[in-house]
A and B are shown apart, each in its own frame.
Chain A
Amino acid sequence: MRVDVIMPQMGESIAEGTLTRWLKKVGDRVARDEPIFEISTDKVDAEIPAPAAGSLVEIQVGEGQTVAVNTIVAFIETEATAAASAPKPSAAGRSTAPAGAPSRAPEAPRPSGPAPAAATPATARPASPAAGPLPAATGEIPRAAQMAASGAGPEELRRVRSSPVVRRIAREHHVDIGRLQGTGIGGRVTKKDILTALERGGGAGAAAGAGGPGMGTTGTAAPAGPAVHRPAFALGDRTAVEPLSAMRKKIAEHMVLSRRTSAHVTTVFEVDMHRVMRLREEHRQAFESRHGIKLTPTAFFVKAAVEALKAFPVVNSSIEGDNVVYRKDIHVGVAVALDWGLIVPVIKNAGDRTLSGLAKAIVDLADRARGRKLQPDDVQGGTFTITNPGSYGALFGTPIISQPQVAIMGVGSIAKRVVVVDDAIAVHPTVHLSLSFDHRLIDGAVADQFMAHIKTALEEARFPEVL
């Protein structure tokens, strides 16, 4: 018995295939399911098994030829004895089920004009027995009920209800039809709409933007493509053009990346530094002679922040996909301004260090940063960052988070300012501390409690082991 060997259907959207190679020659014996030829479509190479055992008696399609799906490419003559049980060509893929079937949108009810009250299904909720239903509302009731049941608004139903070909393209390219602007009847998304969207890179944009279930991830809000490019200058303008330095470029990229990733919110606290400065004054001499370095206010800020991080571990975490990753160790990056830019060396295991230990680490890292002697490891692995917008007198800053961290504290300028102490006016050194935090993860209340923790530590000068 002769069995047809056909070009198999390799997918719902694939209409043809190119036969690249015969693995068997005419006259060869083949076993059932033994590969007999290879086809290729786009980036796929596939071996096609024999539909039946027997011998290959005729080849209809040569190597390199492209033919439509289900075209007969060869015949196999099965053994006479096996004829009865010779299976039909198994046309791999014939049974392909519509892949996205379960996700198909619920069919919208036919808007066939306002249904007469009598025709309103008994299931319609408002069974107002006495007063006759308002005529205008009657038609709306079942529709609204159905919409409520399917959880979709009328607009969404209209959009998602597009032709099978559009749904197929959407499924294949992971595009959420509901997000596309439809130009068809009633705002339906047409084939042209979806192809245009894909051409514009909408596949990625839509996929990233629409985001699979629970995909609140980094970079998803990224613009799909660059907007219209406006050159910064026109020919003939008086300008000087210099390439960005490698460091500047990295900073630029990271700043934009971070803005795109985190939902930045900044909160600002004023802190009375009176007691800390007095404590520092008291221990200045002893500290210097014992440790050989100056006791700077920065050490107090870092220490206060470290203790607050211990109390609010979420501030010392990261978002990774759908998870919060709590860092068990506290590594604090401290921004150091340099003549040629800004670098943020990291105090490793800051959580285990004393005030003097932190002070030493800060001096060591800052010295090495200025001497260009930092190792790559010195600037990596930070879990929280402290920066100092106040070094030139700014009251406070709204820093950008260093990814993948979730918060950064800015230290404003320390200056003598008028404060109210016990209903009396006093002149105390104060500072404004700002915290930019990732509002995706950290609530405002938590951020403020974190900052209040720091404020209290500083105002009450809770540093038992200054030396």
Chain B
Amino acid sequence: MHSCTAGWLGRIDFRDAMRLQGECARRLKDGTGGERVLLLEHPPVITLGRNARPEDVLIDPAVLLGRGIAVERCDRGGQVTYHGPGQLVGYPVLDLSPERRDVARYLRDLEEVLIRTLARFGIATGRVAGLTGVWVGGEKIASIGVHLSRWVTTHGFALNVATDLDAFSLIVPCGIRSRGLTSMERILGIAPPLEDVASVLLPEFARVFDRTILAGSVEVEIPRPGTDDALRVEAALRPKATSCPEAAGAVAGREAR
């Protein structure tokens, strides 16, 4: 079985994260590094995938920048989306070759990881034929967009844990106008910490992808263009077993009649 190093990286700028996963993918391809699953959150940013239409960003990028929301293009599949605090972003850098060379299967597997993770929090979710992602009722709770190069994956998924859903009104998410978005917070009434969701997700990831997850030691250094200092990212994901939402104490049991 493959082993795969995973870690919670905290809040990381989108461009830095792109460089980081690019570096991980490069190393994986040339055999100097192993597989990684980077779990993190981004400061507010709107990203345009390969198939994005500029008109799906509804607000002038200059105005957005003024509101602290960056707009970035990238080589992920899919269209326009929003990332921001409270959203668990996962960038699996995996080698799908030789036994998983099937992009549809990869997408379904990512969905499966998210569906199982959400089930752990008591949220029943599903798929919608033809609309990749994870759905609750008619609303999308997690989005997926990936990039492949020689069957090495980059980009990945974004799960709305406690995302500011209003931010999605700035765009036409994934080019779909008619369907709304939701979050774990909206469904549960409370927001589990991202790190907790991450530590529930990793065992599911391990199961679906048949990999051993080594948590706690992602260490990558990437150069920052224009500056002398390198971005050094170290992840420490506590292998935490107790990760169900606990805040439910406020609403605990009254007798059922």
Interface residues of A (CB under 8 A from B): 10-14, 20-21, 33, 35, 38, 40-47, 49, 92-93, 95-97, 99, 171-174, 195, 198-199, 201-205, 207-208, 212, 215, 217-220, 222-226, 247, 249-251, 253-255, 257-261, 318, 320-321, 323, 325, 327, 333, 335, 342-344, 346, 376, 379-382, 385, 387, 389, 394, 397-404, 408, 410, 436
In the assembled complex, the CB of B131 is this many whole angstroms from the nearest CB of chain A, namely 9
Top 3 closest pairs, chain A to chain B, by CB: A204-B126, A397-B255, A402-B252
B residues near A335, Cβ cutoff 8 Å: 252-254
Choice from B51, B146, B244, B252 contacting A382 with Cβ under 8 Å: B252
> How many Å lie between the Cα of A119 and that of B110 in the bound state?
50
Known A-B contacts A222-B124, A247-B251; A217 and B119 likewise in contact (beta carbons under 8 Å): yes
In the assembled complex, the CB of A346 is this many whole angstroms from the nearest CB of chain B, namely 6
B residues near A394, Cβ cutoff 8 Å: 255
Q: Quick check: B253 and A258 within 8 Å, CB to CB?
A: yes
Known A-B contacts A198-B127, A217-B119, A254-B189; A43 and B78 likewise in contact (beta carbons under 8 Å): yes
Q: Quick check: B144 and A43 within 8 Å, CB to CB?
A: yes
Residue of B with least CB distance to A49: B150
Q: Quick check: A403 and B122 within 8 Å, CB to CB?
A: yes
In the assembled complex, the CB of B199 is this many whole angstroms from the nearest CB of chain A, namely 10
Known A-B contacts A208-B115, A212-B116; A249 and B189 likewise in contact (beta carbons under 8 Å): yes
Q: Quick check: A400 and B256 within 8 Å, CB to CB?
A: yes
Q: Quick check: B146 and A45 within 8 Å, CB to CB?
A: yes
Q: Quick check: A174 and B112 within 8 Å, CB to CB?
A: yes
Q: Does B32 contact A (CB under 8 A)?
A: no
Considering residues A11, A212, A401, which has the most beta carbons from chain B within 10 angstroms of its beta carbon? A11
Considering residues B105, B144, B249, which has the most beta carbons from chain A within 10 angstroms of its beta carbon? B249
Known A-B contacts A45-B76, A320-B243, A382-B249; A387 and B106 likewise in contact (beta carbons under 8 Å): no
Q: Residues of B within 8 Å of A, CB-based: how many?
A: 67
Q: Quick check: B255 and A333 within 8 Å, CB to CB?
A: no
Q: Quick check: A45 and B129 within 8 Å, CB to CB?
A: no
In the assembled complex, the CB of B166 is this many whole angstroms from the nearest CB of chain A, namely 18
In the assembled complex, the CB of A167 is this many whole angstroms from the nearest CB of chain B, namely 13
Q: Quick check: B101 and A93 within 8 Å, CB to CB?
A: yes
Choice from A45, A49, A403 contacting B248 with Cβ under 8 Å: A403
Q: Does B151 contact A (CB under 8 A)?
A: yes
Q: Does B148 contact A (CB under 8 A)?
A: yes
Choice from B49, B78, B122, B148 contacting A261 with Cβ under 8 Å: B122
Q: Quick check: A408 and B253 within 8 Å, CB to CB?
A: yes
Known A-B contacts A10-B102, A43-B146, A208-B119; A380 and B124 likewise in contact (beta carbons under 8 Å): no
Q: A11-B105, A201-B127 provided; 12 other pairs, C-beta below 8 A?
A: A10-B102, A10-B103, A43-B144, A45-B145, A46-B103, A203-B127, A204-B115, A250-B190, A254-B248, A259-B256, A320-B243, A325-B242
Q: Quick check: A385 and B250 within 8 Å, CB to CB?
A: no
Q: Does B247 contact A (CB under 8 A)?
A: yes
Known A-B contacts A45-B75, A47-B149, A344-B249; A12 and B122 likewise in contact (beta carbons under 8 Å): no
Q: Quick check: B120 and A219 within 8 Å, CB to CB?
A: yes
Chain B window 215-257, contacts with chain A (Cβ cutoff 8 Å), 1 for yes, 0 for no: 0000000000000000000000000011111111111111111
* A–B pairs, 7, beta carbons within 8 Å: A20-B50, A45-B147, A224-B126, A318-B242, A379-B249, A380-B247, A402-B248
Known A-B contacts A44-B146, A218-B122; A172 and B253 likewise in contact (beta carbons under 8 Å): no
Residue of A with least CB distance to B143: A43
Q: Does B132 contact A (CB under 8 A)?
A: yes
B residues near A49, Cβ cutoff 8 Å: 149-150
Choice from B50, B105, B115 contacting A207 with Cβ under 8 Å: B115
Q: Does B15 contact A (CB under 8 A)?
A: no
Q: Does B100 contact A (CB under 8 A)?
A: yes
A residues near B245, Cβ cutoff 8 Å: 403-404
Q: Quick check: B122 and A174 within 8 Å, CB to CB?
A: no
Choice from B104, B147, B249 contacting A42 with Cβ under 8 Å: B104
Chain B window 102-139, contacts with chain A (Cβ cutoff 8 Å), 1 for yes, 0 for no: 11111110001001101111111111010011000100
> How many Å lie between the Cα of A335 and that of B108 in the bound state?
44
